[in-house]
Amino acid sequence: MITLLLILIPLFSSLLILSVPARFAKIFAFAASFISFAVTLAVFISFPVSADYQYLIDYNWIPSLGIHFKVGIDGISILMVLLTTFLTPLIILSARNEDNHTPVFYALILFMEMALTGVFVSLDGFLFYIFWELALIPIYFICLLWGGVNRVNITIKFFIYTLTGSLFMLVALIILYLHTPNHTFDINDLYHAGRSLDSRMQGILFLFFILAFGIKMPIFPLHTWQPDTYTTAPAQGSMLLSGIMLKMGIYGAIRWLLPMLPEAVHEYSVYVMWFAIAGVVYASVIAITRSDMKRLIAYSSIAHVGLIAAGIFAFNIQGLQGGIVQMLSHGVNVCGLFFVADIIQNRTKTREIPLLGGIRSKAPMLATAFLIIMLGAVALPLTDGFVGEFLLINGVFHFSPYMAALGGLTIILGAVYMFRAYQRTALGETSQATDHFTDLTLTEKAVLIPLVIMVLFIGIFPQVFLNISEPAVVKLLSGY
């Protein structure tokens, strides 16, 4: 029942909010998403250390086609759902009152939360696909209606790009479905069907799946939609896209690709990893040269996700565990960074790093929060980024030391662009733009403080999360 509740709370509140007066919309949305978070937290705290799916619901949705509404939570799902429900209230809170967001804006965010949660708990291929696509519609409208310059062209490119991958994934899912003995979309039947295929067929399906997941993440040559979309999206859109939505791609690969097509994974992982590692270096180098804060964060995101992708495709316990914990920390960090960028843009009307400076003297609290989140992003020990990247590089090292060496560059290069950005914005003399910079407002504090706490919490107590996901990861690796 609880799994259903986690989907229904945001769904119904997204419909209800349309009848709420505009001035209460934000409070209502925040309250609804906070309830979701509270429920998730309760599930998380009481979550048993077990590899099985908990809170299973299996409803025969379309009987004649073997399509079930089957949802359940295991150690990997719960962390993803926790990330979603933790970030959504903060994202809602971060919306600025002066932007006059209509109730539709919050309805779309809540709808998105529903779809994302659905993706993370689906145990039926068809259902997974439906949620996967459902997540695309609200974010498209958020970016289209509230986005920045040139949003029409950028958002349609984003939509068609991601839909391309999705449709190929749909074809792959149908092929797997047709190979199941009694024609079902049940995840376990699909696993069996996938494993029984010959290696050539597995390779084709691998390609179809990697298109969908690789575009969503995005992995290096498929990333061209991402910087533009992140930059042009409103702050909340960027946070949703980078904080949660890209995790759909990684989670999808972990749940639906790696255990499904073992032969193809064994054979082709190395190529995916090389592309991902190439993306790490490529995006980091570009990030160093960017002067637009949002664009810089966008490229840094490609670099971080590249390492996660490499880690999970190494398909060993360190890589997977690292990938999972890094998904959490990347979500927290990137949301924090995008919000800081939004605050700076709101105060100074610019995101150009060279025009800024001296924020620390005007706004010490913002500068401190920025510093901590940034340290998390560059993976300093005792911050969240360190645990994930350490495990990831460890995992990749077991696969290939050369890759690990190259991937490790992300820490060094990341330090270069992040410290540079911090130095030029927060330190030094104040510029014309930052002369009248004011410190955090109460709402902004309410968003940043939980993020900062999470940066430190994951960094200091990673075991809380690693213990929960470990049984599920072990089961995934052993192939059930």
Partner 1 sequence: MNTLIILSALGIITLFAEIFRFRKALFPLILLGLAGAFVATSFEYCDHPQSIFNMMIFDKYAVVFSCSLILICFLWFMMARNYFLQETSVTDHFALILFALAGAVVMVSYSNLVMLFLGIEILSVSVYVLAASDKASVLSNEAGFKYFLMGSFASGFLLFGITLIYGATGSFDLGTIEQFVASNPSSGLVTVGVLLMLTGLAFKSSLAPFHFWAPDVYDGAPTTVTAFMATVVKTAAFGAFFRLFSTSFAGVSGQWTTVLWWFAVLTMFAGNLSALRQFSVKRMLAYSSIAHAGYIAIAIVSVSTNGTSAQAILYYTLTYSIATITAFTVLYIVERNTGRNDFGAFEGMAKNNPFLALVTTVAMLSLAGIPPTAGFFGKYYIFLTALNSHNASLVVIAVVAALIGVYYYFRVIISMYFKPEKSDIPASIGSLHQIVLFITTLLTLLLGIFPDWVLRWI
Question: Is residue 134 at the binding interface for partner 1, with CB under 8 A as the rule?
Answer: yes
Select 120 or 159, whichever has its Cβ closest to partner 1.
Answer: 159
Site string for partner 1, 37-66 (x = CB under 8 A): -------------------------xxxx-
* Distinct helix (H) and strand (E) counts, the chain: 21, 2
Sole window of 170-178, 188-196, 245-253, 283-291 interacting with partner 1 (rule: CB under 8 A): 170-178
- The DSSP element (H or E) to which 116 belongs, if any, is helix 103-121
CA distances from 23 to 82, 93, 426 (A): 28, 14, 34
Question: Is residue 478 at the binding interface for partner 1, with CB under 8 A as the rule?
Answer: no
SS3 292: strand
Residue 455 token pair: 């940066």
Smallest gap from Cβ 134 to partner 1, in A, equals 6
Smallest gap from Cβ 114 to partner 1, in A, equals 11
Q: Using CA of residue 78, residue 84, residue 85, residue 90, what is the dihedral sign?
A: positive
The CA angle 443-375-33, to the nearest 5 degrees, is: 35
Cα 120 from chain centroid (whole Å) = 11
Smallest gap from Cβ 140 to partner 1, in A, equals 8
Question: Is residue 106 at the binding interface for partner 1, with CB under 8 A as the rule?
Answer: no
Select 155 or 326, whichever has its Cβ closest to partner 1.
Answer: 155
Cis peptide bond upstream of 218, omega within 30: yes
Of 28, 111, 129, 299, the residue at the interface with partner 1 (CB under 8 A) is: 129
Residue 358 half-sphere exposure toward CB, CA atoms < 13 A: 13
Question: Is residue 21 at the binding interface for partner 1, with CB under 8 A as the rule?
Answer: no
Sole window of 160-168, 233-241, 285-293, 329-337 interacting with partner 1 (rule: CB under 8 A): 160-168
C-alpha–C-alpha distance, residues 378 and 301, integer Å = 11
Looking at the chain, how many residues does it have? 480
Smallest gap from Cβ 194 to partner 1, in A, equals 15
Question: Is residue 178 at the binding interface for partner 1, with CB under 8 A as the rule?
Answer: yes
Residue 208 and residue 172 in contact, taking contact as beta carbons nearer than 8 Å: yes
Cis peptide bond upstream of 462, omega within 30: no
SS3 140: helix
Smallest gap from Cβ 170 to partner 1, in A, equals 7
Sole window of 36-44, 152-160, 224-232, 364-372 interacting with partner 1 (rule: CB under 8 A): 152-160
Of 105, 111, 177, 397, the residue at the interface with partner 1 (CB under 8 A) is: 177
Contact residues toward partner 1 (CB under 8 A) are 62-65, 129-130, 133-134, 136-137, 144-145, 152, 156, 159-160, 163-164, 167-168, 170-171, 174-175, 177-178
